[in-house]
Structure 1
Amino acid sequence: MRFWLVSQQLALLIIIITTNALNNNETDHAALLAMKSKILDPFGGEALSSWNESFHFCNWEGVMCSKRHKRVTLIDLSSLSLSGTLSPHVGNLTFLRQLLLINNTFHGEIPNEIGDLYMLEVLALERNSFQGRIPVSLSRCYNLKHLLIGFNNLVGTIPEEFSSLSMLKRIYIHVNVLTGGIPKSVGNITSLEVFSAGANHFGGTIPNNLGQLKNLVELGLGGNQISGMIPSSLYNLSNLNILSLPMNDLNGSLPPYFGNMFPHLEWLQLHYNNFTGQLPNSIGNLTKAMRLAFERNNFSGKLTVDFSKLVNLVRLTLHFNNFGSGDFDEMHFLESLTNCSDLGVLGTDNNQFRGVLPDFVGNLSSNMRFFTLGENQLQGRIPPTIGNLVNLSILDLESNHFTGPIPSTIGKLQKLQRFFLSGNQLSGAIPESIGNLSLVNELYLSYNNLEGTIPFSIGNCQRLISLLLEQNNLSGTIPKELFQVSSLSILLNLSHNRLSGSLPLEIGDLKSLVVLDISNNNDLSGEIPSSISSCTSLQFLFLQGNMLQGSIPKTMEFLRGLQILDLSRNNLSGQIPAFLEKLSLINLNLSFNDFNGELPSQGVFANSSAVSVYGNNRLCGGIPSLELPRCPTKKLNRNFFSSKRIFVIVASILGILILFSSLVFYLWKRNRRERQSTTLELLPKESFVQVSYDELFKATDGFSSSNLIGAGSFGFVYKGVLDQIGDVAIKVLNLVNRGATKSFMAECKVLKNMRHRNLIKIITCCSSIDFQGKEFKALVYELMLNGNLEKWLHPYQVTSRLELNLLHRLRVAIDVASALDYLHYQCETQVIHCDLKPSNILLDQQMVAHVGDFGLARLYNPDMGISHHSSSMGVIGTVGYAAPGKLVVNLTNPVYFVGLIYFPFNYNSDVYSYGILLLEMLTGKRPTDLMFAGGLNIRNFAGQILTGNAIEIVIDPTILKSDIVIDQRDGCLIALVKIGLACSEELPQNRMSMTDVVRELQLIKETMF
């Protein structure tokens, strides 16, 4: 009887356990279905197609269960392009140990219910768009070992309660918007091995009790506005492999024993801070170091560190400090670096180093690719042994006091891409061996005492994009071989030399050149070659201070992009051609020549502050403010009004009227057939803020050329100060130009209600008729102090070279992509920018990018088409950036085609332009560069790095100077090129969405920085 009762009780217990297990299984099943209901799959549910009743949930994609109880222990949905939110029902998965959602676009808050997962060991939500605060409830997950929530949009503080997580090993919270300082409680998580909190807004100081984290191997606090000194307790973290504190406001000096405290340190990043004092000699004891970054601080004194024991050193950056003592032997530290056989980057420019460059510089690593010594006070000769560094791609020796000749051994550096010697006291001739630098992009030899002729061999430098030889004593004729270097696309400056002879006809081969300066050579003579008309990319042409003669060639009317033309102080004669009125000139100097006849009065000639004609005593007419004498009145030709002429004129007028009437009638009929189409209507005048012409005139100091910051097809942009607003940019439209009014209305309408940190902010649209009874229109924007991206990518002045490193460019790419993502998907009506290019990307004081110039923008409704109707053939946007195809007149739905296939014009057009922009930022080459001919374009040029080791050939040399480990840098560049290519696919349906672009770029940034 007793046995029977025991058996019955046991059976009942088994039934209860089984029932509970079944119930718990059903709980997990329900929780997973609840999660699925909140997840959005852009590929039609393909990623979660197995999450259905046909399979047991333990067999669903990305789900793992325990073998015994069939409870969910792991969910891995990483990198599936999923979006949506994380359901609170996730808290019901009580056996869950790992939740991995890395690299998706989940948004919303991290649910508090996640704190119910008491068995959770890994929470990986990196590279998403989660918002809100870090849940305090996570502190109840006592088994948590890895918390990976970096690269989201989380706000608030790190919860103090995390100090109770005694098993926590890794905290990745970098690249969020966290504030409130690094809490002291982090120092109580003694199990911690990695604390990565860079790129937030913490502020405050580094807590002293972080020194309690004896197991810490990685500490990353960069880019957080942290101030104060490094606490002495941190020097007790002897297990550190990585100490990364860059881009903060840290100060003080490094203690003498610094290098003795970190025997395992591989990466030390202290750049972009305010450290002072001498670099401790103990740095030489960091024997495991691979990467040492000290640049952009205030370190000073003699550099006496012995680097010879740092045999693993790959990168050492010391630039932009105050190193130097005045001792003649202070470059002796270079000798210890000759033992670092893997050293690839050595940056020592912009310091106070003196003395000579020793001969043993040639014994530095043969792997050296970047060597910068510019902006110091070095003297003596450049040692010929420098030719031993045969793998150099960048050599910067400019702005020192080097004397003597350029060593001919320079010709051995056949991988050199950027070579800077400007601003020294070098003499002698430019060596013929310069022609061996077949890969050189930028060659700067200006401001020296070089003499002799320009060597013919320079014609072998067929990748040259900028050449600066100004302010030397060069003589003889300009070799035609120089003008046959068709790759020259940024700047050719031969000014202030003693060159003679005439300009070769081959000048027309420079079809991609933007700036040509051959001024002040005195002995240059002959006429301006008519072949100059082929230089269709020219924006700045300086020929002043020579002995040129003859007239201005009529062919120059084809230089439609010309902005500044200076022909002053020559012997030019004849009439000033009227076609100059039609060019986009913002400054024209024709003074001190022998021009005669009537001066034109339109275009640039209508602005006395933009044109100069002094010293031409036979000129007349022009606008009154130029104070030229009146031109003599011409006698009327009586034969002009002959009956035959009258008949021809009347017939012509009637013909034109008939054609015009027919066109109007045709367009009227087409417009009547429009259905459900929207138009970009003119804004009512009462919506404009009334700012008078006088106010704008005062704000810009009379539209002074000194305040002119830009010019475009529809008008000019000035910087100014309005009393009621402050510093602004003012675009004044020239209403004579066709399309100016439509551009004005488009920009006002699109930007009126747009609010995004990466869009240009329009302050007011001004329309008035109080200027001499005539209407004028102006747009007032916030002023962008760092100008546009064009001038950073393609600077035409080198007195203060503008440089964007890889991180800068990546940030700009993310900013622009975020703006387009907003315009395409987050606005009530989609907006298509239609003219994305570097000159329309503006940079503020913090180098944050803002998309501007919406004069060609379209409002787009997927069901109704575009709200702007074109009545002319042509490509929407700018050549090189506009998506392939041709705009076809269709008043109901403009389309463009590729080959024989037509595609609707939509936001994919912006994606294409973005892809080209990204490739331009990486290669440093415009899509219209002359090198892109015969089937080569910027896409297949950039794509070379995907098929071989072509990074040094393809990528902008400025990027290659970036302070990043080479393998990581190259991986980043390859990933960015892939995005650029994916965005600029020929077929629109193959292009990425801007949402995916933003996510991928954020992933790259988080991985690299």
Structure 2
Amino acid sequence: MSLHVFCLFILSTNLIYFMNILQSASANSILGNETDRIALLTFKDGIYSDPLGALSSWNHTLHLCRWEGVTCSRRHQRVTILDLRGIKLAGFISPAISNLTFLKELHLQENSFNGQIPPEIGRLFRLRYINMSNNFLEGEIVANLTRTHLRFIDLEYNKLTGEILVELSTLSKLLQLNLGANDLTGSIPPSLGNLSSLAQISLLQNHLKGRIPDEIAQIESLKSLIVSLNELSGTVSSSLYNLSSIEIIAMTSNQLNGTIPPDIGLSLPNLKALLLGGNQFTGRFPMSISNASRLEALELAQNYFHGPVPKKLGSLKNLFMLSLWGNHLGTGNSDDLSFISSLTNCSNLKRLALGQNHFGGTFPSSVVNLSTDMLRLSLNQNQIFGSIPSQIDNLFNLQLFTTYENFLTGIIPTSIGKLWTLQLLDLSVNSFSGKIPSSIGNLTGLNYLLLQENHLQGSIPSTLGNCQSLIMLSFAQNNLHGTIPKQFISISSLSIELNLSQNFLTGSIPSEVGSLNNLGVLDLSWNKLSGEIPSTLGNCKSLVELHMEGNSFQGTIPPFLNTLLAIQTLDLSSNNFSRKIPKYLEGLQLLKYINLSFNNLEGEVPKQGIFRNASAISVIGNHNLCGGIPELKLPACPIMANQKQGKSSLPRLVIPIISSFLCLISLLFVIAALYWTRKSRKKPSSTSAKEGQHLQVSYSDLFKATDGFSSANLIGVGSYGSVYKGILGQDENVVAVKVLNLQLHGASKSFMDECEALRNIRHRNLIKILTSCSSIDFGGNDFKAFVVEFMPNGSLEKWLHPEVVGQHQLRTLNFSKRLNAAIDIALHWNIYTIIAIYQSLTVI
């Protein structure tokens, strides 16, 4: 064989060899593509919801490397990245995903995957990055994950259970471990300290207990430690505060204790966030914190720190949040809040929370010079006095402003109405005076308006009706007057509470109250409201509490209250409601407390529903009630006479006799009255001058006689007022004082009519009037009363309807005495009739 032929043979042999290799590689590539394609289609079969149609491209017409969310390697065209984040997929993760053997990154976060994490994922030995956060995954963290070479694990915001795997410490190249917002239990494994490359640990919002392992401080590369919202306890290793690499320490809402090193601002030069709120840390505020120049967030709220706050906090130029509320900071001195002046240098400051401390001094005027980006400012529950600067509108981006429970005075500045973005305004429990600024009506985004327990005066501005985003409003315990504006009480967004109690509001409730159909608590108690409760209140079917006590409402207990099926507390006490207690109140299934005391209610008290529980009801001060459960100790209700025919013929005989007799007596009194009236015109009585000299009494005399109109001296309640027993003058005469309720319509006319009638008539069956009083009470209100003889034997009603104790009646009247009483009553009625007829005749 020639050299030329031999070379040609060798070349052709090698060419065939290389061609076989290429064909083999191509076949393997095709086979690998098919494996990946089948794996992805199987994964797709586990998806039962794809509202955005993100996987519609996963079909046979396109090559798998062109499918949405799929990235392939250039050389082998194998799937290396599967990125399906945030496309609203719902379903389970198929184990077939483990057949993507070239997979390096798996992004499934922000979807609705449920079920368990397939343990087959542990076969993906090339996997470096896995993110399944913000789903609904359940079960334990699969141990097979430790067979991979993961650098990044994010399983936060799922429903994972069990303990943190100790085996995770074998992932020697792990950089981030995020397992927060699950239901993990147990303790933090100390073996995590072996992960020398770890930069971030996030275990927040689980149920972890025990200490933070000291071994964590061995991770020199650690930048972020987030263990907030757990049940961790004990002290924190001081070594952790010496990790110069640390940027974020978040331990809020645990049970940790101990102190913070005073040099923390020097030992942690890279610190950006120190979040220790909601624990049991003690000691003085670390002064060196002003040296942590990169600090952006400082949150030490709800601990036991004390002492002054450093005045150089303004050197923290990047600070956007300073939360110190709920400690013992400050000394009550005038310069406690002087550090606020330095905070004007912090141009990024958005949140300043200083409430619930011991800060004293005047309201710092420098507040108005803080960053215009300020969103939340709270100074509540301190010892601050003075007034709010009128330039407060410089903070025009404020969303929350609270100063409640201080000693602030002055007026509420009208400039508050320029805080357009305000959502919560709480100035309650101070000593603000003046009127409620009508400019608050400009705050259309306001959700909470709390001004209770101040000295505010004037009327409620109707402009507040523009605040159609309000869900809670309270003006309780002020000095507000006037009526309730209909624009104000028709804010349909109110859902938590509307409280106007303990003011001096007058008039009736506007019918627009029916717009509050989402309201939970309505409190109008202890005002001077009157009239009847509007029927539109029945539209407020979400009411849980209704307080109307301490007003002058009248009429019957309205029937529409039976539509308030959610009601749990109902207080109508100290009003003028009359007639019977409605039976429908028994059927309010959720009712837990009802107070109907001190009204004019009568008849039988129900016995079912809420009325079976004596401790859940109050009906005292209604003198015409009877029956009910024995614990109420009310008199038994009178038994109605049996009116069946044939039972007794006595009523048939007595009634005609009484009627005829009364007609005769009436005629005689007409004649007698005409005779004596004419005679008196001709000859004036010699004794009339003496009889006209009535005893003169003042409001003060009657107030002293009745011991301040105390309930202990209350004898009874009538249509227009109440009657008290009193001891009058130096002679200590026992009298009865009838005080008219001038809030009631017709009360003043009744006073004049009674004066006229009692001036013209005398009769043995009429109580003798001693004097009358028309004056002004200590509150500057009109006062009218009669002083009459005291009847020690009680009222005729009690004799006709005696109380029953055991099986014995306390008082009895025989038939003869009852008949005489009926005749006398008839004569009494006819005296008034005769006088009226005779007066009309003399006018003619």
Shift, 1:429, TM fit: 4.0
Shift, 1:21, TM fit: 6.2
8 Å contact 1:395–1:420 — kept in the other structure?
yes
Deviations 1:507-555 (A, max 9, x none): 556555443323223x544454556555555443322223444443455
TM-aligned CA distance change 1:395 to 1:59, over 3 Å: closer
Instruction: Indicate the residue corresponding to 1:66 in structure 2.
Output: 73
1:474-873 to 2 correspondences below 5 Å: 474-479=480-485, 482-485=488-491, 487-503=493-509, 507=513, 510=516, 512-521=518-527, 523-529=528-534, 532-533=537-538, 535=540, 537-554=542-559, 556=561, 559=564, 561-583=566-588, 585-626=591-632, 627-634=634-641, 636=643
Q: Which runs of 5+ in 2 are unaligned?
A: 647-844
AA in 2 matched with 1:443: L
Instruction: Indicate the residue corresponding to 1:111 in structure 2.
Output: 119
Q: Which runs of 5+ in 1 are unaligned?
A: 640-1009
The question of 1:369 aligning with 2:375 is answered: yes
Deviations 1:917-954 (A, max 9, x none): xxxxxxxxxxxxxxxxxxxxxxxxxxxxxxxxxxxxxx
Instruction: Indicate the residue corresponding to 1:98 in structure 2.
Output: 105
Determine the C-alpha separation between the residues in 2 that align with 1:550 and 1:44: 62
Determine the C-alpha separation between the residues in 1 that align with 2:472 and 2:645: 58
TM-aligned CA distance change 1:154 to 1:477, over 3 Å: closer
8 Å contact 1:86–1:111 — kept in the other structure?
no
The question of 1:440 aligning with 2:442 is answered: no
TM-aligned CA distance change 1:296 to 1:69, over 3 Å: same
8 Å contact 2:46–2:94 — kept in the other structure?
no
Determine the C-alpha separation between the residues in 2 that align with 1:476 and 1:158: 65
8 Å contact 2:42–2:94 — kept in the other structure?
no
Instruction: Indicate the residue corresponding to 2:331 in structure 1.
Output: 325
Shift, 1:127, TM fit: 4.0
TM-aligned CA distance change 1:9 to 1:254, over 3 Å: same
Shift, 1:394, TM fit: 1.9
TM-aligned CA distance change 1:412 to 1:620, over 3 Å: same
Instruction: Indicate the residue corresponding to 2:91 in structure 1.
Output: 83
The question of 1:419 aligning with 2:386 is answered: no
TM-aligned CA distance change 1:291 to 1:573, over 3 Å: same
AA in 1 matched with 2:371: S
Deviations 1:825-861 (A, max 9, x none): xxxxxxxxxxxxxxxxxxxxxxxxxxxxxxxxxxxxx
8 Å contact 1:308–1:336 — kept in the other structure?
yes
8 Å contact 2:95–2:120 — kept in the other structure?
no
Determine the C-alpha separation between the residues in 2 that align with 1:224 and 1:555: 49
8 Å contact 1:25–1:71 — kept in the other structure?
no
Instruction: Indicate the residue corresponding to 2:262 in structure 1.
Output: 256
8 Å contact 1:150–1:175 — kept in the other structure?
yes
TM-score normalised per structure 2:
0.66
TM-aligned CA distance change 1:436 to 1:16, over 3 Å: closer
Shift, 1:40, TM fit: 0.9
Instruction: Indicate the residue corresponding to 1:354 in structure 2.
Output: 360
The question of 1:276 aligning with 2:282 is answered: yes
8 Å contact 1:27–1:93 — kept in the other structure?
no
Determine the C-alpha separation between the residues in 2 that align with 1:538 and 1:97: 57
The question of 1:205 aligning with 2:201 is answered: no
8 Å contact 1:282–1:305 — kept in the other structure?
no
* Largest Rg, 1 or 2: 2
Determine the C-alpha separation between the residues in 2 that align with 1:342 and 1:299: 25
8 Å contact 1:110–1:132 — kept in the other structure?
no
Shift, 1:223, TM fit: 2.9
SS in 2 for 1:107: strand
8 Å contact 1:209–1:233 — kept in the other structure?
no
Determine the C-alpha separation between the residues in 2 that align with 1:248 and 1:573: 57
1:912-923 to 2 correspondences below 5 Å: none
Instruction: Indicate the residue corresponding to 1:873 in structure 2.
Output: none
Determine the C-alpha separation between the residues in 2 that align with 1:587 and 1:159: 53
AA in 1 matched with 2:115: H
Determine the C-alpha separation between the residues in 1 that align with 2:50 and 2:450: 56
Instruction: Indicate the residue corresponding to 1:308 in structure 2.
Output: 314
Shift, 1:617, TM fit: 1.9
AA in 1 matched with 2:597: S
TM-aligned CA distance change 1:29 to 1:203, over 3 Å: farther
SS in 1 for 2:231: coil
Shift, 1:305, TM fit: 5.0
Shift, 1:438, TM fit: 4.3
Determine the C-alpha separation between the residues in 2 that align with 1:33 and 1:110: 17
8 Å contact 1:372–1:397 — kept in the other structure?
yes
Shift, 1:500, TM fit: 4.4
Shift, 1:280, TM fit: 1.5
8 Å contact 1:281–1:305 — kept in the other structure?
no
8 Å contact 1:290–1:314 — kept in the other structure?
yes
TM-aligned CA distance change 1:172 to 1:433, over 3 Å: closer
SS in 2 for 1:338: helix
1:285-304 to 2 correspondences below 5 Å: 285-304=291-310
Shift, 1:633, TM fit: 0.3
TM-aligned CA distance change 1:577 to 1:131, over 3 Å: closer
Shift, 1:59, TM fit: 5.2
Determine the C-alpha separation between the residues in 2 that align with 1:346 and 1:317: 6
Instruction: Indicate the residue corresponding to 2:244 in structure 1.
Output: 238
Shift, 1:334, TM fit: 1.4
SS in 2 for 1:331: coil
AA in 1 matched with 2:24: T
The question of 1:170 aligning with 2:176 is answered: yes
Determine the C-alpha separation between the residues in 2 that align with 1:95 and 1:513: 59
Determine the C-alpha separation between the residues in 2 that align with 1:501 and 1:614: 27
8 Å contact 1:78–1:104 — kept in the other structure?
no
The question of 1:397 aligning with 2:403 is answered: yes
Determine the C-alpha separation between the residues in 2 that align with 1:563 and 1:165: 58
Determine the C-alpha separation between the residues in 1 that align with 2:21 and 2:195: 41
- Structure 1 range deviating more: 374-383 or 455-464: 455-464
8 Å contact 2:408–2:432 — kept in the other structure?
yes
Determine the C-alpha separation between the residues in 2 that align with 1:433 and 1:370: 21
8 Å contact 2:140–2:162 — kept in the other structure?
yes
Determine the C-alpha separation between the residues in 1 that align with 2:206 and 2:514: 52
Deviations 1:31-56 (A, max 9, x none): 65356446512159976676677666
SS in 1 for 2:501: coil
Determine the C-alpha separation between the residues in 1 that align with 2:517 and 2:63: 67
Deviations 1:172-193 (A, max 9, x none): 3333444554344433433333
8 Å contact 1:390–1:415 — kept in the other structure?
yes
Determine the C-alpha separation between the residues in 1 that align with 2:387 and 2:119: 67
Deviations 1:89-120 (A, max 9, x none): 72x65543333344452633443563562x43
Determine the C-alpha separation between the residues in 2 that align with 1:132 and 1:597: 64
AA in 1 matched with 2:454: N
Determine the C-alpha separation between the residues in 2 that align with 1:412 and 1:396: 16
TM-aligned CA distance change 1:229 to 1:547, over 3 Å: same
AA in 2 matched with 1:105: F
Task: With a CA cutoff of 8 Å and minimum separation of 6, indicate the structure with the bigger relative contact order.
Answer: 1
TM-aligned CA distance change 1:156 to 1:541, over 3 Å: closer
SS in 1 for 2:313: coil
8 Å contact 1:366–1:390 — kept in the other structure?
yes
TM-score normalised per structure 1:
0.56
